[in-house]
Amino acid sequence: MMGVSARPASPDGKVIEPLQAHGVTMMSIGLMVPEEKAVVWRGPMLMGALQQMLGQVNWGELDILIVDLPPGTGDVQLTLCTKSELSGVIVVSTPQDVALIDARKALDMFNTLKTPVLGLIENMSFFTCPDCGGEHHIFGHGGVSSEAEALGLPLLGVLPIDLETRLAGDAGRPVAAGDGAMAEAYGRIAQGLIAGGMA
């Protein structure tokens, strides 16, 4: 999605040199294994990879480090919250009830671990029909908004299902790096985080 497929180098065999794309320093486990191979790792292997990502990558001077995690309340989330100093977490969910069950569990875990929740994002919130212009709530409506309000947490953004986002990701040019309504939506999320003191 960032247009990067090269394998990161480690000239000295100790420190990994991250890759650059669209002005972002980035690293991914996916870049370390063949593209068609699944990462089938148990907890200890995941913990080692996480520690390597945090401690052995030459990140340089960063304004902010974002760790994109799979959904859930697993070993990686637990280790990251207990072994690192985090400014906080952002919980992303679609609005339907089934997804919100998992989001609530994640929120409870972060609360238990005393990890601040910076806010929630509702993804795939609606679809605007390109033919009729009608707005369709395929996965329900406002579930994440209601959850944020009930918990007294900021709703950082509401993102639609959007063809432009998919096309840009497939092309390796993040929609947020361009112009238009979707780029502006991501920009508002970033501004909300900055205003909230994250960066």
In the three-class reduction of DSSP (H, G, I as helix; E, B as strand; rest coil), residue 182 is classed as helix
CA distance linking residue 67 with residue 1, whole number of Å? 15
Tokens, residue 76: 């990686």
CA distance linking residue 159 with residue 111, whole number of Å? 25
Condensed to tens digits (0 to 9), the pLDDT of residues 130-148 reads 889 899 999 988 899 999 9
CA distance linking residue 121 with residue 186, whole number of Å? 11
Q: Are residues 60 and 25 in contact, defined by beta-carbon separation less than 8 angstroms?
A: yes
CA distance linking residue 118 with residue 128, whole number of Å? 28
Tokens, residue 168: 């840009």
The confidence score (pLDDT) of residue 198 equals: 59
CA distance linking residue 102 with residue 122, whole number of Å? 13
Q: Is 113 left (phi over 0), alpha (psi -120 to 50) or beta?
A: alpha
Angle 15-17-19 from CA coordinates, rounded to 5°: 155
- Give backbone dihedrals phi and psi of 57, rounded to 5 degrees, phi first: -100, 135
CATH 3.40.50.300 domain extents, the chain: 66-195
Alpha helices in the chain (DSSP H): 43-55, 75-83, 97-112, 143-151, 163-170, 181-195
Classify residue 32 by burial, with Cβ atoms within 10 Å: 0-12, 13-18, 19+. middle
When pLDDT is averaged across residues 89-104 and rounded to a whole number, the result is: 92
Multiple choice CATH, 66-195, 3.10.310.10, 3.40.50.300, 1.10.357.10, 3.40.47.10: 3.40.50.300
Read off the pLDDT band of 192 (50, 70, 90): confident
Q: Are residues 122 and 156 in contact, defined by beta-carbon separation less than 8 angstroms?
A: no
The confidence score (pLDDT) of residue 106 equals: 92
Condensed to tens digits (0 to 9), the pLDDT of residues 8-43 reads 998 898 899 999 999 999 999 888 888 788 877 777
CA distance linking residue 174 with residue 164, whole number of Å? 10
- Average pLDDT over the chain reads 89
